[in-house]
Structure 1
Amino acid sequence: MALLDPIINRPNRVLELQKKYQADPRPVFLRPAGAKQTLVVYGAIFATGMLSTVYGIGCLVTGYGKAAQKQED
């Protein structure tokens, strides 16, 4: 089984990595590498989507665009 030894006989570093990860004072969702950039991009996309939705609902409620269509007829 010498072929599988590098896969099977690996050192267990879970406790070491867990202590290092838990010692970080940042919130859990900001601890992984690149988390802040990912959250900023997600927040921008989410905000754009929500603002577009609110704008569309506002246009439907107020009838924006229908008055211009009536004047053309």
Structure 2
Amino acid sequence: MTEPAASTGAEVTAVSATAERGARLLRLGAAELVTLVEDAEGRYDVALESVGGTSLRAALPGGGRWGQTRRPQA
């Protein structure tokens, strides 16, 4: 999602486990790279998370726009 978002004018902050792994995201147009969600500063309109675990909750302080995050029903 980094390349399409950046190419349409979005300012993308990418999160990657290491700077080395995230270098590709910078080449694809990310304006900033952090290795911890908690290190991302500012206000964000959209948060896309594809890994799972605690990173989504960390990306949406207070549970996000809808008040909570939850797992889909099985």
Q: TM-score interval w.r.t. the shorter chain?
A: under 0.3
Q: Which fold has the larger relative contact order, with Cα–Cα distance below 8 Å and residues 6 or more apart in sequence? A: 2
Which is helix-richer, 1 or 2? Answer: 1
TM-score scaled to structure 2, two decimals?
Answer: 0.17
Q: Which of the two has higher C-alpha Rg?
A: 1
TM-score scaled to structure 1, two decimals?
Answer: 0.17
Which is strand-richer, 1 or 2? Answer: 2
